[in-house]
Amino acid sequence: MAEQRSNPTVLVVEDNPIIRQVITLTLSREGYRVVTAANGQQALEYLHDNPPPCMILLDLHMPEMGGEEFLRRRSHDESLAAIPVLLCSGDAEEEGPGLAAVFGISYCAKPFKMADLLQTIARERVYAAA
């Protein structure tokens, strides 16, 4: 159990299984422990039953419960509100960046380069720990 705690956990909430797998493989190679959820509802269930991850990587548009509803529920739950979130969306409109601003979280446009994603996660983890 101590071994799992030494690797920071990232929760990847993404409905596209290929994107989920690529992100999981990339983050795992960088030493992160990765858990995944296919939608916001699955993510909330995970978060209520497990220790908090160091970061949540959140897709915006998903079936069952999308990123916006997840963020609303997260903001009303003190145990979840402090977990850093990186909102990722291929939405070319202002919806993604606008929601990120409203909820005070970071935004990453899809498609993104994995090196940029890793940099953003590292930066957000440092910022959240300060």
Provide the pairing of β-strand 55-59 with 9-13.
parallel
Q: DSSP secondary structure string, 4-31?
A: HHHSPEEEEE-S-HHHHHHHHHHHHHTT
Q: What is the pLDDT of residues 13-42, one digit of tens each?
A: 999 999 999 999 999 999 999 999 999 999
User: What single-letter DSSP state applies at residue 92?
Assistant: -
Find how far residue 110's CA is from the centre of its chain. Answer: 14
In this prediction, residue 33 carries a pLDDT of 94
Say if residue 128's pLDDT is above 70: no
For range 50-78, the mean pLDDT: 93
**What does the pLDDT read at residue 18?**
94
Enumerate domains of the chain plus CATH numbers.
2-124 (3.40.50.2300)
pLDDT at res. 7: 82
Query: What digits encode the pLDDT tens for the residues 86-95?
Result: 998 876 566 7
